[in-house]
Amino acid sequence: MGLTHLWFFQLIFEKEGVYLHTNAKKMLQDTTLPGFIRVVERAGVPALEWSPLEDEGRSAPAVLYSKKDGEEGEDDTKFDPGYEPDWAVISTVKKDQQAAVKDSGQWSFSLPLSELYSLRRARFSLGRNFLVLTSRGGHPLPPLHFHRGGTRELLRALQRYIILDQSPMDGRLFLAYPHDSGALSQSFDKLQLMDDGGSDLVSRFIQDPYATTFGGFSKVTNFFKAALRPPDSTGGSRACRDPGLPPQADDEPGFELITCGVELGPRPDVCRGPPLDRWEEFLDPEGRVKNPERIRDLVFRGGIAPPLRKELWKFLLGFYPWNSTAKEREDILRSKTDEYFRMKVQWKSVSYVQGMSDLLAPVLFVTQNEVESFWCLTGFMELVHQNFEESQEAMKQQLLQLSILLRALDPELCDFLDSQDSGSLCFCFRWLLIWFKREFSFEDILLLWEVLWTRLPCENFHLLIACSILESQRGELIGSDHDFNTILKHINELTMKLDVEEVLQGAEAIYLQLTRCQDLPLKVQQVLGLYSPPSPEGSPESQTGETDHVLDQSRRSVAGFRPPPPPGPPPGPPDLP
């Protein structure tokens, strides 16, 4: 290595066993690279750096910290406020910077701390902590998984240079602020002394100092911006992510929504059941449904056998009350038939909105009857009519709710979508408008809809279905070269390629995972219908209790007909010492 680029180098913090997830294009197969995370000062400019293990010896700064004691098995839960970090020594050495910054593999990075915008510390399903860093340019860096702990220590080290402000809405998210501008100008003085060895890094730093970017780029997401107002005509929102360009006026910081990054527990295993294929035994002698909840549970779990659909859909869609007798139902059918034909002669034109025929077709197919299909469709429209309203407010609301769920569930995927101007999730519009009608085969949609008509386990289960599908595509999306156009195209082209059972299974598992989370953000709870005003001793359990109970009930009732589901991972926080 040449000695032409000597830097004034200080190692502040170092931790090994930090794996970078490349999210390479391979489906479901992320590549993980072991390496080191470091906080360093290069010519007085503090930076956060990651370099792969394989580079060591060639480019790494000498390991100059002293350890207080063994580090293995450390975990956040051990942390108490009086804890002293296990890094201590700060040493000054001269170092071959060229190697460290340029040569250390394509995934290594060096991020000046002034470029750090936010940091989210979350826990993977295996209990490991991982960090997702966002630069001021808006680009998420590859997630870093701390297999041997050390995230809290790293935060401590960073706090020497920057303020990490914990989001009031989400304790896992930290926004980075400068301590003071004096320190900044000092850094700049030093920067002037450097040659252009790290010109890219340096020029970015100079062009993007706090003074100009702070606030201008202060957006984590652009939830819904695209849907609520026209994007600027030059594709500027993408351009403005380029750290080399000045912020656009359009980037008002008031429009941000920061949520989540919660530590979710493990996702439970979920088993679907067989379709409901018995009916008479659920009726009392007068023909009342003895236990409607049980029916609903069974339908949620496995759908309805085709021959029973015609009868059961009328209950699910409110044409027949569950507690009606067979005799009452005959009367209902008679009077509703009269009513239908009375109305029909009065109809001149019916206000029709695109998509409604999608809803009618399966209903007509199953009922095979004009009158019944009309009333069943009426029942269906009770659930979805807002989707078709002129204002489209309900659609906007649902896309927003979906993004709240997805951010809790998969912040990394959200960051990617945001980075490609797709944070509004407008590519899910068709899914939500007509309840996935065009995404699945006709036969599958019959099942999916009857599951949704049970309104179990929550009214927004269709949003969880959307999450389930989106998550199944994360491997294809993250780290790919998809842009706004190709993301939309890719999602659009999933039609008829999805497995309905897998999707339903995933959606329920997500529901259970979220509801079991101890510190689920309020917004997410609201979307899932879990939130009720806090009681004096309202524990998370008491909030999730009811819905879990419903599901437990359904699991128990199904257990009689099939083997019980395989035991999932134990509940509660994993891998506590």
Residues at the interface with other proteins (CB under 8 A): 226-227, 230-231, 233-236, 238-239, 353-355, 357-358, 388-392, 395, 421, 424, 426-427, 429-430, 433-434, 438, 484-485, 488-489, 492-493
DSSP code at position 59: S
Q: Which is nearer to other proteins, 194 or 395 (CB)?
A: 395
- As measured in angstroms, the least distance from the Cβ of 406 to other proteins is 18
- As measured in angstroms, the least distance from the Cβ of 393 to other proteins is 10
Q: Which is nearer to other proteins, 242 or 382 (CB)?
A: 242
What distance in Å separates the CA atoms of residue 487 and residue 476, rounded to the nearest whole number?
10
Parallel, antiparallel or unpaired: strands 6-21 and 144-146: antiparallel
SS (HEC) of 441-496:
CHHHHHHHHHHHHCCCCCCCHHHHHHHHHHHHCHHHHCCCCCCHHHHHHHHHCCCC
**Is residue 8 packed enough to be buried (19+ CB in 10 Å), middle (13-18) or exposed (0-12)?**
middle
- As measured in angstroms, the least distance from the Cβ of 156 to other proteins is 40
- Which residues, at least 6 apart from 569, have a Cβ–Cβ distance to it below 8 Å? 266, 268
| Residue recorded with tokens 């000597």 | 6
Distance of CA 567 to the CA centre of its chain: 26
Q: Which is nearer to other proteins, 4 or 233 (CB)?
A: 233
In a 3-state reduction of DSSP, which class is residue 70? coil
The answer to whether 19 touches 144, Cβ cutoff 8 Å, is: yes
Q: Which is nearer to other proteins, 133 or 377 (CB)?
A: 377
Q: Which is nearer to other proteins, 199 or 441 (CB)?
A: 441
Q: How many other β-carbons are positioned within 10 Å of the β-carbon of residue 330? A: 12
- As measured in angstroms, the least distance from the Cβ of 567 to other proteins is 42
State in Å, rounded, how far the first CA of the chain is from the last one: 45
Q: Which is nearer to other proteins, 43 or 227 (CB)?
A: 227
The strand ranges marked E within 108-169 are 109-112, 116-123, 129-135, 144-146, 162-167
- As measured in angstroms, the least distance from the Cβ of 429 to other proteins is 5
- Smallest CA-to-CA distance from 209 within 193, 195, 189 is with 189
Backbone φ and ψ for 53, nearest 5 degrees, come out as -55, -40
- As measured in angstroms, the least distance from the Cβ of 217 to other proteins is 18
- As measured in angstroms, the least distance from the Cβ of 252 to other proteins is 18
- As measured in angstroms, the least distance from the Cβ of 38 to other proteins is 35
Q: Which is nearer to other proteins, 38 or 462 (CB)?
A: 462
| Residue recorded with tokens 């085969």 | 441
- As measured in angstroms, the least distance from the Cβ of 242 to other proteins is 9
Q: Which is nearer to other proteins, 111 or 452 (CB)?
A: 452
Q: Which is nearer to other proteins, 166 or 234 (CB)?
A: 234
